[in-house]
Amino acid sequence: MKIVVIGGTGLIGSKLVKNLGEQGHEAVAASPNTGVDTLTGEGLAEVLAGAQVVVDVSNSPSFERAAVLKFFETSTGNLLAAEAEAGVGHHVAVSIVGTERMPDNGYFAAKIAQERLIEKSGIPFSLVHSTQFFEFTRGIADDATVDGKVHMAPVLFQPIAGDDVALSVGRTAVGAPLNGRVEIAGPEQFRMDEFFRQALAAWGDPREVVTDPHARYFGSELDERSLVPLDDDATLGTIRYHDWPGRNATGKQPERS
């Protein structure tokens, strides 16, 4: 089947396109780099012609509250309208575990707005709620650094490898629409402060990790289970952080793709 991956040249999208292609699907990477811009609508009609499934793994270039909301509302609105015109039968979007538990978080609020547009679109859909990617570990530590110290709350943390995310999203894409959500997470739970203490030590990073119950995660204070699945039937990846080949690589938020 033809599956168009919005954000198909980014971290997850590139893995997804490769996996789907190896399974015999016509997987098409769509991004500004390939002439498709969901903010302006450029190239959408052409790339969606004949597509059965659209997977949206795109991301905002800015995480500022108003900018990220505008990105997801505009991008998703244009994409859904083009899908309806093209007769696409399944819309898959990647979101975040815990979005509804931290409405004060600007990025999470924007993802909630995106999900509502999808749910109201009339197009059969599936939402994949993922925990934090291994690839973002350093970026999370950097954002939590205050006066040279990394402040982390002692709450549950269950990150997942990007390869596991891509596999799960791919399975969802080729399956029947859920018209609901599935949660995915890594195979191990940690205490967030201990995870980062061990990670920084392994990197040889001299920053001290401070256990701080009021530490903020991209602006939000965390509860015990803010960042981990609540459902017992969450899908777990197989790659452990200790075994992940990129565990010592720089992890930054991806650019828009």
Task: Single out the residue of 131, 113, 116, 118 nearest to residue 183, CA to CA.
Answer: 131
pLDDT at 63: 84
Per-residue pLDDT tens over the stretch 110-129: 999 999 999 999 999 999 99
Tell me if 151 is assigned to some domain.
Answer: no
For 171-206, the DSSP string reads HHHHS---SEEEEEE-S--EEHHHHHHHHHHHHT--
Task: Single out the residue of 217, 96, 206 nearest to residue 151, CA to CA.
Answer: 217
- C-alpha to C-alpha distance for 16 and 55, rounded to whole angstroms: 9
- C-alpha to C-alpha distance for 81 and 75, rounded to whole angstroms: 10
pLDDT at 257: 39
**DSSP bridge partners of 95:** 129
pLDDT at 101: 87
The region, left, alpha or beta by phi > 0 then psi within -120 to 50, assigned to residue 156 is beta
- C-alpha to C-alpha distance for 220 and 99, rounded to whole angstroms: 11
Q: How many domains does the chain have?
A: 1
Q: Give the DSSP H or E segment for 235.
A: strand 235-236
Task: Single out the residue of 237, 179, 196 nearest to residue 15, CA to CA.
Answer: 237
pLDDT at 218: 86
Tell me if 55 is assigned to some domain.
Answer: yes
Tell me if 64 is assigned to some domain.
Answer: yes
Tell me if 223 is assigned to some domain.
Answer: no
Tell me if 200 is assigned to some domain.
Answer: no
pLDDT at 57: 97
Tell me if 126 is assigned to some domain.
Answer: yes
- C-alpha to C-alpha distance for 60 and 175, rounded to whole angstroms: 27
Per-residue pLDDT tens over the stretch 62-120: 888 999 999 999 999 999 999 999 999 999 999 999 998 887 889 999 999 999 999 99
The region, left, alpha or beta by phi > 0 then psi within -120 to 50, assigned to residue 211 is beta
Domain at 112, CATH number: 3.40.50.720
- Structural domain for 117, as ranges: 2-134+159-188+228-243
Per-residue pLDDT of the chain (257 residues; tens, 9 = 90+): 999 999 999 999 999 999 999 999 999 999 999 999 999 999 999 999 999 999 999 999 888 899 999 999 999 999 999 999 999 999 999 999 999 888 788 999 999 999 999 999 999 999 999 999 999 999 999 999 999 999 999 999 999 999 999 999 999 999 999 999 999 999 999 999 999 999 999 999 999 999 999 999 988 899 999 999 987 789 999 999 999 988 875 444 433 33
pLDDT at 249: 59
The encoded tokens of residue 250 equal: 């720089």
Tell me if 57 is assigned to some domain.
Answer: yes
Tell me if 65 is assigned to some domain.
Answer: yes
